[in-house]
Chain A
Amino acid sequence: MIKYSKNFVIGIWSLIKGLAVTMKYCFRPAVTVQYPTEKRPMSDCYRGLVGLHREKCIVCYQCVKMCPTACLAITHKLEDKKKILETFKYNMELCCFCGLCEQVCPADAIVMTKIYEISVYDRKKLDINLLDDKKYDEWTHTTIK
């Protein structure tokens, strides 16, 4: 009987404690954000779409060799024994966002951007020309750069 009443009191007390916890949380500010209108800044190590600083690129082909899904493709021409970038294709459909291209790049030319809203209506748009300066305009107008 003593055990029963002790359990009873403990049980009631735990219910009251639970109610107090939820009431406390009821008046705390929300931790979520109103997504499309309000956005969280991404962390520095976030790996979004691949971006390119074309002036830094030394056309060493390290990124092409390193890419596990072979989503990058480069062509170049020679001018005065210097390699000049001709095309730099990035097939986003294949990309696994591993970031190995960024790590291996000796000139820090290839980078992972913070763009994460990467859905498109046309499959052709997934084949991105990294030399085009306006390549991500369509996507970045809603995203934090």
Chain B
Amino acid sequence: MLSILTIIWALIVGIIVLGFIAASAMFLIWWERKVSAHIQSRYGPMRVGWHGVLQSVADAVKLLLKENIIPAEADKLVWWLAPFIAVVPPVMAFVVLPFGKNLIVKDLNVGVLYLMALSSVSVIGIFMAGWGSNNKYSLIGGMRSAAQIISYELPLILSMIIVAMQAGSLSMQKIVLAQAGCWNIFHPNLAIAFFVYLTSATAEINRVPFDIPEAESELVAGFHTEYSGMKFAMFFIGEYTNLFIISAIAATLFFGGWQGPVLPGVVWFLIKSYGIVFVLMWVRWTFPRLRVDQLMGFAWKVLTPISFFNLALTGWLLIK
């Protein structure tokens, strides 16, 4: 009896989370197009719905109806599996995101560790897509993605560890509760950690200015050049879900998560998350792309030393 109830409960939660992911991804795609348009003195989508708000729905319908083309020389199994592996880790990350005081799927006591582990899984999907397509541009894109994500993993994890040190716990809820008096961002060492986190997270999800894996002007579209229809849409949903995830993690770790006056917790959480999403969009439509060597140099020569220094500083501050 208990097991049936558990399964039903799991199904309900799963449907809610998947619905939120789909809606959020569609909204973010529309929002990104609007932000880019306004920054470039254009209107962006205007025709479908109020100010084109249903444009993403129209696009999704179009992608669903598109033919699924498989390249003749593709490694079929790898090619077919890649979009799923790219989209599942961001969905799994929703397990530990605290939307509210009791609004969390499962408060794992190793939440931060779980997120760190998941963030490196999606690179496998991207690399599989590059390899399976059997196309030089896709392969270069996949290779670059792997190199980039492995390099930026280090500063990312080091900056997340600093938060865990400050809170004394790896559980996401406990990290939020530890920020009751003062958000982490107001501590100088954690503010540095925030900027390191945001920079390396941007690189982690292959966004401009670190989008060399899918650099349009060099690699056509990198790893998803050969994908069409719903498979391409899955990469797209994965990308925008990742965008929301890193913003949500930043909001939880540095901006007090769901804590805030007057409004309910979930509203605060969404405001903070989408605020950080906006900052990332703003950055995307401002800066040009980095070169590959600059990108690697930046990770290993700037961000990693800063993170190690910050780690030592935080340790010293905590012991003092």
Contacts and interface: CB of A to CB of B under 8 A. Distances in A.
Interface in B26-76: 35, 37-43, 46
Interface string B1-44: 00000000000000000000000000000000001011111110
Nearest to B44: A30
A32 B42 contact: yes
Interface string A14-36: 01001101110111111110100
Contacts of A31: 41-42
Residue in A27, A28, A29, A30 with the greatest tally of chain B CB atoms within 10 Å: A30
Nearest to B37: A30
A22 B287 CA distance: 10
B41 A32 contact: yes
- B interface residue count range (under 10 / 10 to 19 / 20 to 34 / 35 or more): 10 to 19
Nearest to A19: B286
Contact of B282 (A19, A28, A34): A19
Residue in B35, B41, B282 with the greatest tally of chain A CB atoms within 10 Å: B41
Contact of A19 (B41, B43, B283): B283
Interface in A56-95: none
B285 interface: yes
A34 B283 contact: no
Contact of A22 (B37, B39, B43): B39
Contact of B41 (A15, A18, A23, A28): A28
A30 B41 contact: yes
Interface string A40-65: 00000000000000000000000000
Nearest to B283: A19
26 contacts: A15-B287, A18-B286, A19-B286, A21-B286, A22-B39, A22-B282, A23-B282, A25-B39, A25-B40, A25-B41, A26-B35, A26-B38, A26-B39, A26-B282, A28-B41, A29-B41, A30-B37, A30-B38, A30-B41, A30-B42, A31-B41, A31-B42, A32-B41, A32-B42, A34-B43, A34-B46
